[in-house]
Amino acid sequence: MVNELRALMRDATDRPPHDPGDLRAVLGAGRRRVRVRRAVTAGATALAVGAIGLGADAWVSPSPADLAAAGVPRAEGPVVRLGDARPAVEGQDYREVTSVTNEDLDSDNGHYVDGVTDDGLVLFRDGPRSDQLYPRYALMDPATGAKDWLPGTRGLGQSQVVAVELGVQRLVLVGPDEQSGDGSSMSLVARVYDRASGAWRTVRWPGLPAADGPWGSRVGPDGRLYVRVPATRGEVPEGGWPQGPDGEAEDADAQGDTFELWSASLADPSDVRDEGLRVGLFGFTDDALVWSDSSNGDAGQLHVRDLATGEETSFDPRLGARCNLLGLDVAGDRIAMSQYCGTYTGGVRDDRVQVVTTDGEPVVTVQDSGVDGGDLVGGGDYLTVVAYTRATGGTYLYDIAAGTLEQLSDSPSSWNVGQGPTPGDQFLWSEGAGTLSGLFGRSGATAHLSEVLR
């Protein structure tokens, strides 16, 4: 298993991460981000080390990218560039709820924020390490830092798990079933924690096909777990991908991947059903299901199904001729899509986070080299993005109603230390910490839990 995971990490990046002596000690951690273009590669790496998103080799750009000079086509509709941002003011634009800092993640595992419960407690994870082979979890009071350690978390195993529901009554974590095969299987298992009794229960579904990992799993408004089961994979063109101006494979306008959408009950392991939909990426609002035709390539159309009436609408999101859809988030009446749309002169990337309404109307596109992310906050009123270039790197918050872009930090983190569901106007983001560590930025990272001040 260890050798297989090391091979996955090397396949996922042209700059392999540090090879620890005992890889078990880093399983399930929010580890280094590695540069990827196809999200299918990111998923494979996340099983081993929790790495998601762009990597820091994009940081080498010493000045803001000139997209026009590089020949990058402008996105349709309203466009915002990172240079348009103003510094965010703490206490005016947002408030810091709490933070967790790791000074040195190069040497060992650390502490992570995996989401916030509906009643405002932080799901705190103490990652596995050489003298602690299994992660520990606690519910932390963000005001005092006091931690209520959850019992029995050794049963969660060592692989990456994803918080899909952090409610007042229960916590639901989903991950690969380590009892299935050699531990690298994508058969999923849910660990459900009853907050009243303090007891865990495990849910396995014999009738659920092997899924595309836990990262795209969602709990729908009906309380069922929805997962993607691989259907078709985009093929590499004959002769391989052409080489881009940055010397890497140029896979813009790739053929996308598709999946069958399945759902499963979190109460009855025998209650599993094929939803009869072919999807790329998908998400839920309170009253709608949203999905694309495919992902990791040409998105095709977007579809919106009213959960009450079953009525469906479809539209062309107008992503651009060369854009690969890599991520999707939905909230309220808005859809956010992260995209890679090609590399141009001087290694300038056309990266975008595009927001449209569920009716297909354009809202805004944050377009720049190295832009990633695209999480909707506050019911869809705000958008967070991350950038990974030396000149414009950091985390940004876009106020959709005001049309303003605010920069929260100029130190992007190459470590994924804060992610997961958050209630209301709260959001998680990461910032570099510790000492400088070569091209990969800093040796550690801080997970911030912040709240938008309206």
Per-residue pLDDT tens over the stretch 252-279: 999 999 999 999 999 999 999 999 999 9
**Strand order across the 272-279 sheet:** 218-219, 225-232, 258-264, 272-279
Please, are residues 74 and 88 in contact by the beta-carbon 8 Å criterion? no
Which domain does 183 fall in, by range?
2-452
Q: Is the pLDDT of residue 12 over 70?
A: no
pLDDT score recorded for residue 22: 31
Model pLDDT for residues 302-326, shown as the tens digit of each residue: 999 999 999 999 999 999 999 999 9
pLDDT score recorded for residue 177: 87
pLDDT score recorded for residue 439: 55
Average pLDDT (274-286) is: 97
Q: Which backbone phi and psi does 222 adopt, to 5 degrees?
A: -85, 0
Q: Is the pLDDT of residue 19 over 70?
A: no
Look over the chain and give the mean of its residue pLDDT values, rounded to a whole number: 85
Q: Is the pLDDT of residue 26 over 80?
A: no
pLDDT score recorded for residue 159: 78
Model pLDDT for residues 88-123, shown as the tens digit of each residue: 999 999 999 999 999 999 888 999 999 999 999 999
> Residues 6 or more apart from 125 whose CB is under 8 A from it?
28, 111, 112, 113, 114, 135, 136, 137
pTM above 0.85, yes or no: yes
Residue scoring higher pLDDT (337 or 23): 337
pLDDT score recorded for residue 7: 34
CB atoms within 10 A of CB 33: 30
Please, are residues 342 and 251 in contact by the beta-carbon 8 Å criterion? no
Could you give the number of structural domains in the chain? 1
The encoded tokens of residue 382 equal 């705000």
Average pLDDT (276-285) is: 98
The encoded tokens of residue 151 equal 């019992």
pLDDT score recorded for residue 63: 81
Of 53-57, 61-65, 440-444, least confident by mean pLDDT is 53-57
Would you place residue 438 in the very low, low, confident or very high pLDDT band (cuts 50, 70, 90)?
Answer: low
The CATH code of the domain that includes 115 is 2.130.10.150
Report the share of the chain in percent with pLDDT over 70.
Answer: 84
Average pLDDT (281-300) is: 97
Cβ neighbourhood burial of 437 (10 Å; 0-12, 13-18, 19+)? middle
Would you place residue 352 in the very low, low, confident or very high pLDDT band (cuts 50, 70, 90)?
Answer: very high
Would you place residue 440 in the very low, low, confident or very high pLDDT band (cuts 50, 70, 90)?
Answer: low
* 310 phi-psi bin (left φ>0, alpha ψ -120 to 50, beta other): left
Average pLDDT (182-205) is: 86
Model pLDDT for residues 376-420, shown as the tens digit of each residue: 999 999 999 999 988 999 999 999 999 999 999 998 888 889 999
